[in-house]
């Protein structure tokens, strides 16, 4: 049986521990190359990376693996994940490869892949690669080895793409922005995008040293952005994560806007532009207040499993365009094939400019319900689905909450923990309900 290497977002782990080692990455590049050559005689891939020091080592190993299978390689250098997806599609390449562990600390790293269309690849493709990893390598002869070269101006090409996702008439003149790139892949891209559109730009988190990615800055540590917006008296702050596919925003009053709120603004602005939006995809964690607010403007919300990959799958199956997660992974498939923090921020700023109102005013009808999340460690061998006391507590909570809240109970996929979440307009009631269910689960 083939070993499972792929998770919900590629292959990820601690550098120096299997599978994030140079020898495995060489094998991986070779295996992926052999899978590609089933459909193309001489495939070409592009490899991009974030700013982690380990990226150099893993890039070299993957490059050698691809070359040994007869695959040509283009090297973009540091570039956001959505930038690699864009280049793969724009240059008609066979595969896009990103070396990144996204919002994780620098000691982690990983690899994820994009199809020729700039989309994340399905489970079936990943299964083929894992099966190929179990086979003995088949090196091509010297004449058939792949070649590698640096891709000229990958950064500039992606900057122009980001700008092309908003109308030429959009100007950010008179707007002061703080851009926080988390010392990650967008450090030399995001500031230029917003500056070239006319904004006055202040930067933080744009000085990577290989070790400081996501360290106290970026979308997962927004306090640095809140402080900088206040210090520089900026209109808005934009925080990305290490590979720039995630977005958080801050306004001049110090309000932090999460992905659920930003998704609502994008959807409402599409209504204003086009008159109709068939639907929006969120996740099991999308705030109920946003679901209700969308319903008031005639947009239904469908919930997918947690993970932008599952949001994308649901959007594709329904032919819809807008979706996202509370964490700030936002998808606008009429603008890009994958989540893009820079492109999403431009969509929000476009809505602000078009309406002549602040972001807070665009969200005046949306007040997020407080969420209580309790992690309950499960006893070995316990089956929470058969816990009668937990089921009784859940039914009682749902009756008490009515239409003013909801309950979500789900097991962790990585540890023996049950996650009990209650979301309610009345935060105190929600906490009481969550605590009762957590106590019932712990008593199993």
Phi-psi group of 52: left, alpha or beta (phi > 0 → left; psi -120 to 50 → alpha; rest → beta): beta
What is the tally of helices (H) and strands (E) in the chain?
14, 18
For β-strands 301-304 and 280-283, DSSP reports them as parallel
Q: Could you give the CA distance from residue 166 to residue 153 in angstroms, rounded to a whole number?
A: 22
- Asked if the bond preceding 19 is cis, omega within 30° of 0, the reply is yes
For all residues of the chain together, what is the average pLDDT? Answer: 95
Of the residues 102, 326, 327, 344, only one is catalytic, namely 102
Peptide bond into 108 cis (omega under 30): no
Quick: pLDDT tens for 240-261.
999 999 999 999 999 999 999 9
pLDDT digits (tens, 9 = 90+) for 17-65: 999 999 999 999 999 999 999 999 999 999 999 999 999 999 999 999 9
**CA gap 303, 179 in Å, rounded:** 31
pLDDT tens digits for 394-435? 999 999 999 999 999 988 766 789 999 999 999 999 999 999
3 state SS of 404: helix
Residue 434 CA, distance from chain mean position: 28
Helices (H), 167-214: 190-196
169 among known catalytic residues? no
What is the distance between the alpha carbons of residues 309 and 338, in angstroms, rounded to a whole number? Answer: 9
pTM, two decimal places: 0.93
Q: CA 88, CA 85: separation in Å to the nearest integer? A: 5
Cβ proximity of 344 and 235 under 8 Å: no
DSSP 9-32: TBEEEETTSTTSSHHHHHHHHHHH
pLDDT band with cut points at 50, 70 and 90 for residue 1: low
| Pair 146, 71: CB distance under 8 Å | yes
pLDDT at 378: 87
């Amino acid at each position: 049986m083939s070993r499972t290497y792929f998770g919900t977002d590629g292959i990820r782990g601690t550098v120096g521990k299997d599978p994030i080692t140079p020898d495995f990455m060489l094998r991986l590049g070779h295996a992926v190359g052999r899978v590609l050559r089933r459909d193309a005689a001489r495939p070409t891939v592009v490899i991009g990376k974030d700013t982690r020091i380990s990226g150099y080592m893993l890039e070299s190993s993957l490059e050698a693996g691809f070359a040994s299978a007869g695959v040509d390689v283009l090297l973009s250098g540091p570039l956001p994940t959505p930038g690699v997806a864009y280049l793969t599609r724009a240059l008609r390449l066979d595969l896009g490869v990103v070396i990144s562990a996204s919002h994780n600390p620098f000691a982690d790293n990983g690899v994820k892949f994009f199809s020729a269309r700039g989309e994340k690849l399905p489970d079936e493709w990943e299964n083929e690669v894992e099966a190929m990893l179990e086979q003995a390598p088949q090196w091509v002869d010297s004449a058939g080895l792949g070649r590698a070269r640096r891709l000229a101006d990958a950064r500039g090409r992606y900057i122009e793409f980001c700008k092309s996702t908003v109308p030429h008439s959009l100007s950010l003149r008179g707007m002061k922005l703080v851009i926080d790139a988390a010392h990650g892949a967008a450090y030399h891209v995001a500031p230029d995008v917003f500056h070239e559109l006319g904004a006055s730009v202040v930067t933080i988190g744009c000085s990577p040293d290989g070790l400081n990615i996501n360290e106290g800055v970026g979308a997962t540590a927004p306090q640095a952005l809140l402080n900088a917006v206040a210090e520089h008296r900026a209109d808005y702050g934009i925080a990305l994560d290490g590979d720039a596919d995630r977005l958080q925003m801050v306004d001049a009053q110090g309000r932090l806007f999460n992905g659920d709120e930003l998704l609502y603004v994008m959807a409402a602005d599409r209504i204003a532009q086009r008159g109709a939006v068939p639907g929006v995809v969120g996740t099991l964690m999308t705030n109920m207040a946003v679901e209700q607010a969308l319903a008031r403007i005639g947009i239904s919300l469908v919930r997918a499993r947690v993970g932008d990959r599952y949001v994308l799958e649901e959007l594709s199956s329904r032919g819809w365009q807008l979706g996202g997660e509370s964490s700030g992974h936002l998808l606008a498939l009429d603008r890009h094939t994958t989540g893009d923090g820079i492109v999403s921020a431009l969509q929000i700023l476009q809505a602000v400019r078009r309406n002549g109102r602040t972001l807070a005013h665009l969200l005046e009808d949306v007040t997020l319900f407080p969420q209580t999340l309790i992690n309950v460690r499960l006893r070995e061998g316990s089956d929470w689905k058969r816990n009668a006391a937990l089921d009784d507590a859940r039914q009682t909570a749902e009756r008490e909450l009515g239409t003013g809240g909801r309950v979500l109970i789900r097991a962790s996929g990585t540890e023996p923990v049950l996650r009990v979440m209650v979301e309610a307009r009345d935060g105190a009631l929600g906490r009481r309900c969550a605590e009762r269910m957590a106590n019932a689960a712990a008593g199993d």
